[in-house]
Structure 1
Amino acid sequence: MASDEFSKPFDLTTDPVAWDDLRRRLRATRWPDPPAVDASNASAEDAGWALGTDVAYLRELVAYWADGFDWPAREAELGRLPHRTADVGGLAIHFVHAPAASTPDVGTSAAAENAPVPPRPSPCSSPTAGPTRSGATRRSSPCSPTPARTEPTPPTPSR
C-alpha cells in the first residue's frame, strides 16, 4: 500500500442531494434542433453520426444515466477499492493503489453490461477529400489509399 508519508486515505462518498441534482439536470437537458437537410444527408432523422453526435443515441444515453444507472450502487462498488490522495506539485491527485490481482470486480454487474454503447463510426466512412460546407478543403483520411513511395533509380554509369 501507499505510504502515509506521501498519501492519505480518500473516502469515496457523494451526498444523495448531489445525485438528485444531477438526475434533475440530466432530465432538464435542452436538446438541439434536428440538423438541416442538405445534399450530404437525405433526411435529418437518418443523419446519425454523420453530422456529429447522434441525437437519438444521446437522448437514450442521458435517459439511462438519469433513470437507469444505479449511481449509489456503483459508488459502493468503487468504494471497496483502496482510494488515496497525494500532493503532486500542489495538486491533490486521487488514485487507487491496489495490485491488479486483488482488485475486486467493479463495474461488471448486469446494469453495467446493459448500458448503451455508442456505435463507433468508422473513420473510413466519411468523405475524405474535397470542399466542406464552409469552403475549407478536407484532408484525406488515414483510410485513403496512399501511393507507394518509390526511390529514384540512380543513373547507370557508362563504361
Structure 2
Amino acid sequence: MENESREKFDWSKFTIRTPINASAKEVFRAWTSQEELEKWFLRLAEFSNSEGLIRNKNERIEAGDTYKWRWHGYPDSVEEFGEILELNEKDFLKFSFGKAGIVSIKLTEQEGRTFIELTQEDIPHYKTTEENYHVGCKTGWTFYLANLNSVIQGGLDLRNKDRNLQMD
C-alpha cells in the first residue's frame, strides 16, 4: 500500500506558499539583482546579459540573462547555472534551476502582506532525483523563504556563513 501511494505521488513538482511582511515591490526587488539575492539567498549570484557581459551587482536582471550561483556553506565547486526565462516589473519571475527543473515566483498582496508562491516543476523523475530534487529543493526553498522574511524585516540572516563548517 505504501509503495503504491509513493508511485502515485507527483514527484515532478511542488508549490510552497508563504506570507512575507513586506510590500510586493520590496519582495520582488529581493529576487531581481545580485546585490539583493546575496543578502538572503546566495553567497554569489552572478548574472550575465544575453551578450555574455556580467551585470553590475545592483543592476536588475532581465529575461534571457544567465546566472552562476554559489551558496554559503558549500565550496566553490558547488555551483548552479541557469537562465532567467520570464519576469515582469512587479510580481512574477521564472528561471531554470540547473538540472532540477523550472522555478516560478508569483507574488500577491493580501491583507497587508505579500504572499510568495514558489513552484518548482519539470523535476526529473527517476529514483536518484526524488529525494535530491523534490525533497531537497523543497526543504531548501522553505528555509530560504523563511530567511528572506527574517532579513527583509530587519532580522537575522539565518544562513551558515562559517567557511569552516561547509557541506560536501
Larger Rg: 1
TM-score band, normalised by the shorter chain? under 0.3
TM-score (norm 2): 0.23
TM-score (norm 1): 0.24
Which has a greater percent of strand? Answer: 2
